[in-house]
Amino acid sequence: MRAQVVVVLIVHAIADAIAAPAVPTVTLDSGTFIGTTDLVTDKFLGIPFAQPPVNDLRYRLPQPILAYSGTHDATSFGPACPQQEVQLPIVQGLAANVADFLVNSIYGQIFPDSEDCLTLNVVKPATATPTSKLPVLWIFGGGFELGDPSLYDGGLIVSRSIELGNPVIYVSINYRVTGFGFLASQEVKDAGVGNLGLQDQRQALRWVQKYITQFGGDPSKVTIWGESAGAISVALQMLSNGGNPEGLFRAAFMESVPYATLKSAINQTPGIFAYQSLNLAWLPRTDGIFLTDNPQRLVQQGKVANIPYITGDCDDEGTLFSLSTLNVTTDTQLLNYVKTNFFPGVTEDDLAQFAELYPADITQGSPFDTGILNAITPQFKRIAAFQGDGVFQAPRRWLLQNTLPTNPNVWAFLSKRLKALPVVGSVHASDILNVYGGGEMEDYLIRFAATLNPNSQSLLSFQWPKYDLKNRQLLTFLDGLIPLIITTDTYRQEAMQFLTNVTLANPI
């Protein structure tokens, strides 16, 4: 009887061993990294791409890993970088589930955090080998004040890419944020250590060039993608080094793109939901090294990477950031807010023109196309329209207008989905659900990373036309029975041109 029990146990052990998937490993230098698998994708998480920026390396340019050795557990994300505290304003009419969505997905604050946070994550098809040479989709996650790659599941994108027959490698990173990554002062500029968060990103791109082949990726086929602050990062990477990408990436995809103890001290500064809102404390700034001039002027000078790119916005980009200005209720208060927080050098004539272009009529404000709804204060929809245009929509048009004469491989989009969300409408970053939620944008993104063209060769798929200065065609995402249409990028043209002119004179 005892022998029979032993035999049964041995049989079960053998069966379990056969059923259990092999643990994926990858060798980098003399080091072995152990990941996880679901048989479709392999994940390698929390891989250091630079030396820990602590002690003598705090407030220093990222230093590369000299060489890996030993065995490393790559089965869990590394800690988030220290972040800004987030407090969403309490707004009557903002449904609890909407607030939960904003704070716990788009603007989630991740714990635990640590200064030793410069890690990246690689997700690859389980069948990929060092000879596969697959395209690489590089993700700038998070923001300049908060966020972390663990918020997003790259396995969904890689799995979908396999289904489409365009398999890709997915890479996401942590980079220093808040005062650790974007401290600004004359002393910082003189020391050449401004924009450390952007320098972290650049170092991680160099890591990809050195090591991605081991995961099955092709270092010559890297597409950088980002949403919100990640999209700003993409744009600034295109502007760095005089517009020379140094072979680090071949294409770019930008969603919701604008151009623009220590931790205890950091948390006393304005945050993304503070009264100053988009006039944040911790933003990339001209430092003479990574950014040699104001981004708008660099674009105007043609110092931008000449690569295929996609850019776009949500229809109501400004609503989220206007929730902190509900005490602004009169015309006088509004104009003072605009001058104080955005354009301190504007004239009274400029302010008068601004008031005409962004009138108090709530039916013309944001959320757009919602009539008299969502006017939670007399000035809320007006402020939301201005902030969405001034910081997101107008800079996107500026980038398109200044790059198209020499770069015809450009596509643009507008997301009008989730318009029924109370107060915020098609809110900033809501288009991310169209990527990680299995929407059409996910497929366009994958095909673009794989082929430098977002379109499928299938006659049944909706074709996304290139953007040009004659037709200005936008792929527009809608709710309802007709989810995709082509619209023209000419809405609020006079107002946005005015904001562009003022911004060039008074950079945001």
* Tokens of residue 111, six digits: 């714990």
pLDDT, position 130: 96
Q: Compute the average pLDDT of residues 156-184.
A: 87
Q: Compute the average pLDDT of residues 234-246.
A: 89
Domains of the chain: 25-505 (3.40.50.1820)
Confidence of residue 26 (pLDDT cuts 50, 70, 90): very high
When comparing pLDDT for 230 and 23, which is higher?
A: 23
428 touches 392 (CB < 8 A): yes
pLDDT, position 269: 35
340 touches 440 (CB < 8 A): no
Whether the predicted pLDDT of 101 surpasses 80: no
Q: Which strands form 484-488's sheet, in the order they lie side by side?
A: 36-37, 41-48, 119-125, 169-173, 134-140, 217-227, 251-255, 309-314, 410-415, 473-477, 484-488
Active site residue: 150, 161, 172, 228, which one? Answer: 228
Q: Compute the average pLDDT of residues 348-353.
A: 95
* Tokens of residue 40, six digits: 């479709």
Whether the predicted pLDDT of 264 surpasses 50: no
Compute φ and ψ for 63, nearest 5 degrees. -105, 130
Active site residue: 227, 255, 317, 442, which one? Answer: 317
* Tokens of residue 109, six digits: 């604050």
Q: Compute the average pLDDT of residues 65-85.
A: 89
The model's pLDDT over 413-430, given as tens digits with 9 standing for 90+, comes to: 999 999 999 999 999 888
Whether the predicted pLDDT of 133 surpasses 60: yes
Helix (H/G/I), strand (E/B), else coil: 224: strand
Q: What integer best gives the mean pLDDT of the chain? A: 83
- Is residue 187 part of the annotated active site? The answer reads no
Q: pTM for this structure?
A: 0.86
Compute φ and ψ for 340, nearest 5 degrees. -70, -45
Whether the predicted pLDDT of 374 surpasses 80: yes
pLDDT, position 418: 92
Q: Which strands form 25-28's sheet, in the order they lie side by side?
A: 25-28, 30-34, 69-73
Count CA atoms within 13 Å of residue 240 on its CB side: 21
The model's pLDDT over 180-194, given as tens digits with 9 standing for 90+, comes to: 666 665 554 554 556
Q: Compute the average pLDDT of residues 289-307.
A: 84
Beta-bridge mates of residue 475: 413, 486
| Distance between CA atoms of residues 156 and 400, nearest Å | 30
- Is residue 440 part of the annotated active site? The answer reads no
Q: Compute the average pLDDT of residues 154-165.
A: 95
- Is residue 115 part of the annotated active site? The answer reads no
| Distance between CA atoms of residues 446 and 461, nearest Å | 14
Name every residue whose Cβ is closer than 8 Å to that of residue 347 and which is 6 or more positions away in sequence: none
> Percent of the chain beyond pLDDT 70?
78
pLDDT, position 118: 94
Compute φ and ψ for 460, nearest 5 degrees. -85, -15
Active site residue: 240, 428, 430, 442, which one? Answer: 428
The model's pLDDT over 113-123, given as tens digits with 9 standing for 90+, comes to: 788 999 999 99
Question: 102, 118, 22: which is closest to 65 by C-alpha?
Answer: 118
Any idea which residue has 């990726």 for tokens?
217
Question: 210, 240, 236, 239: which is closest to 222 by C-alpha?
Answer: 210
Using the 8-state DSSP alphabet, how is residue 252 labeled? E
pLDDT, position 41: 98
